[in-house]
Amino acid sequence: MKAPMLALLAALSLAACAPPPASNPAPNAASNSATPPSTSSAAEAPGPATTPASAPSPDDPSPAPAPADRAPIVQSNNAFAASLWGVLRAQPAHSGNLAVSPASITLALAMTFGGARGETAAEMKRVLHFDASADDIMRSAGELQRGWNTGKGPTILRTTNRLFGEITYTFEKPFLDATQRSFGAPLEPVDFVKNYERARQHINGWAQKQTQDRIKDLIPPNGVNETTRLALVNAVYFKANWGSPFEVSKTRPSPFHLTSTDKKDVPTMNREGVYRFAEQGRVRVLEMPYEGKDTSMVLLLPDAVDGLPALEQSLTAAELDRYIEAMTPELVTVSLPKFQVNPPSSIRLRETLETLGMRLAFDIRSADFTGIANPQKTRDRLYVSEVFHKAFVELDEKGTEAAAATAVVMARDSGLPPKPKVFRADHPFLFVLRDTKTGMILFMGRVADPSSR
């Protein structure tokens, strides 16, 4: 298995206000016009990454556009990522290791935003930091995803979307056309009314397939029921090799300080090389690029063992940009623990999104998604019942032989070797995986205990 590997997705479930009558309704025309998804390769999970003939210099990631030049969806996603993290980090249920994909959540909610109307749309726009019309947001999202899905480099970055809709329910054709056009998201009819458990298992099976079996049981038992009318699902799958891999022989047990008084030995990778690095106040910042230079992982390490809460509290999209822009190539001695974040259950995001101000979407009486479906009976109108999110990330030493061959070309052109900077991640830290071509935050997480999942 190549390292690191990342698989993520978000599911959003919409329900009608009340179940339909017991009589068998006739199939609807709009649903019939949206045929089940094709089996084209774009919707399938990607295969293993190929090995390039050579690997890039580790201190030369692709330059990201300046914040002002980023696509609307990228600007919105990064601001939303910081807001989302600000709420999640403080919740007692998420006090340990934590991983989320702002990109996956943004894309799933952007599909939903396309059918929101009135104050429901206004609230979603504020919370998601959208600064453009729904059409422009969907167009920007589509362009971004097409770039990922058609990339030819050594890194695999793929996103797939699908709508799972109740077979007897009528959806608005303009919405179906827009999600198909911008997100490549076909409508697949399922029977929530008569067999919601089978529908749940089917959706989870699709998600598991798209993420190479990394995401299982995305929607938990009772996550859907007979009132569910639509599940909008986004899956993001990432797999890449380090631009400069760690040697397995240099991995050894080292102390990791869980708190100022508690520590444990964990497998820790070690290498010295040229990386973009910065010391900003009491925070050390390191960027580790992947092969192909189009993606990288940025590590944020507070100087103090117990300094992570303060770092998280102050983190904004602008502050993260400042950290990234401050980094310059330096010779760095890196010590980084191997870790895996593989939570047993999905995160329920309803409470978090309501805290951020997205309340009407979840209100059974006031939600307005008439752009998705506009039934005559008020009780059949849609509201968001829950947003489920689950992430998997695994990080270790492995890379390709070709990448290892280029990692040795790191000496500076001077008489004496410079004294290396030190980045020793031996206490809790944050990491951010980003698309360096666009500046988009794909994934962010916290490692509080490398030995725990």
pLDDT tens-place string over residues 176-228:
999 999 999 999 999 999 999 999 999 999 988 888 888 888 899 988 899 99
- In this structure, the answer to whether residues 84 and 181 fall within a common structural domain is yes
Burial-class residue 286 by CB neighbours within 10 Å (0-12, 13-18, 19+).
buried
**C-alpha to C-alpha distance for 5 and 301, rounded to whole angstroms:** 21
Is pLDDT above 60 for 17?
A: no
* Whole-angstrom Cα Rg for the chain: 23
Indicate the residue among 355, 373, 394 that finishes a domain.
Answer: 394
- Per-residue model confidence (pLDDT) at position 294: 87
- Per-residue model confidence (pLDDT) at position 404: 17
- In this structure, the answer to whether residues 331 and 345 fall within a common structural domain is no
What confidence tier does 168 reach under pLDDT thresholds 50, 70, 90?
very high
- Per-residue model confidence (pLDDT) at position 390: 86
- In this structure, the answer to whether residues 303 and 423 fall within a common structural domain is yes
Burial 356-368 (b: 16+ CB within 10 A, else e): bebbbbbebeebb
Enumerate residues 6+ apart whose C-beta is below 8 A from 163: 111, 176, 179, 185, 186, 187, 188, 230, 231, 232, 233
- In this structure, the answer to whether residues 218 and 161 fall within a common structural domain is yes
- In this structure, the answer to whether residues 277 and 389 fall within a common structural domain is no
pLDDT one-digit tens code per residue, 300-332:
999 999 999 999 999 999 999 999 999 999 999
- Per-residue model confidence (pLDDT) at position 72: 81
Cα dihedral 200/444/272/245 (nearest 10) = 20
Residue 66 maps to a domain? no
**Paired tokens of 409:** 């070309």
- Per-residue model confidence (pLDDT) at position 394: 82
CATH code: domain of residue 50:
3.30.497.10
- In this structure, the answer to whether residues 170 and 258 fall within a common structural domain is no
Nearest to 232 by CA among 263, 289, 186: 186
Is pLDDT above 60 for 4?
A: no
Does a cis peptide bond (omega within 30 degrees of 0) precede residue 46? no
Residue 298 maps to a domain? yes
Residue 151 maps to a domain? yes
Burial 172-200 (b: 16+ CB within 10 A, else e): beebbebbbebbbbbbbbbebbeebeebb
State percent of the chain over pLDDT 90: 52
**Site of tokens 């080292």:** 254
| Three-class SS state of 314 | helix
pLDDT one-digit tens code per residue, 373-386:
999 888 888 989 88
- In this structure, the answer to whether residues 80 and 138 fall within a common structural domain is yes
**Site of tokens 């117990």:** 306
- Per-residue model confidence (pLDDT) at position 342: 83
Phi-psi region at 347: left, alpha or beta (left = phi > 0; alpha = psi -120 to 50): beta
When mean pLDDT is compared across 92-96, 112-116, 174-178, 364-368, the lowest value belongs to: 92-96
- In this structure, the answer to whether residues 202 and 332 fall within a common structural domain is no
Indicate the residue among 351, 372, 394 that finishes a domain.
Answer: 394
Average pLDDT over residues 359-373: 93
User: What residue type is assigned to position 277 of the chain?
Assistant: F
Higher pLDDT, 408 or 67: 67
Average pLDDT over residues 254-274: 95
Residue 287 maps to a domain? yes
Residue 82 half-sphere exposure toward CB, CA atoms < 13 A: 17
- In this structure, the answer to whether residues 216 and 357 fall within a common structural domain is yes
Residue 62 maps to a domain? no
- In this structure, the answer to whether residues 320 and 426 fall within a common structural domain is yes
Residue 36 maps to a domain? yes
**C-alpha to C-alpha distance for 175 and 134, rounded to whole angstroms:** 11
Beta strands at 98-100 and 440-447: parallel, antiparallel or unpaired: antiparallel
pLDDT one-digit tens code per residue, 119-130:
999 999 999 999
- In this structure, the answer to whether residues 182 and 146 fall within a common structural domain is yes
Q: Which domain holds residue 330?
A: 248-336+407-447
- Per-residue model confidence (pLDDT) at position 402: 20
Asked whether 291 and 242 are in contact (CB, 8 A), the reply is: yes
- Per-residue model confidence (pLDDT) at position 66: 58
- Per-residue model confidence (pLDDT) at position 14: 52
Nearest to 327 by CA among 367, 300, 361: 300
When mean pLDDT is compared across 181-190, 193-202, 390-399, 426-435, the lowest value belongs to: 390-399
**Paired tokens of 43:** 């919707």
**Paired tokens of 80:** 């939303």
- Per-residue model confidence (pLDDT) at position 452: 86
Average pLDDT over residues 262-272: 95
Is pLDDT above 70 for 450?
A: yes
Our count of domains for the chain comes to 2
Mean pLDDT value across the chain: 81
**C-alpha to C-alpha distance for 24 and 172, rounded to whole angstroms:** 21
**Paired tokens of 160:** 């797939």
Residue 346 is given by DSSP the state P
CATH code: domain of residue 273:
2.30.39.10
- Per-residue model confidence (pLDDT) at position 417: 56
**Paired tokens of 308:** 């992570």
**C-alpha to C-alpha distance for 119 and 387, rounded to whole angstroms:** 19
Residue 67 maps to a domain? no
- In this structure, the answer to whether residues 279 and 172 fall within a common structural domain is no
- Per-residue model confidence (pLDDT) at position 10: 53
Is pLDDT above 60 for 279?
A: yes
Asked whether 109 and 123 are in contact (CB, 8 A), the reply is: no
* Most confident residue range from 32-46, 234-248, 311-325, 404-418: 311-325
Is pLDDT above 60 for 44?
A: no
Is pLDDT above 70 for 252?
A: yes
- The total number of residues shown for the chain amounts to 453
C-alpha pair distances (Å), 120 with each of 114, 115, 138, 382: 11, 10, 17, 12
Residue 452 maps to a domain? no
- Per-residue model confidence (pLDDT) at position 171: 93
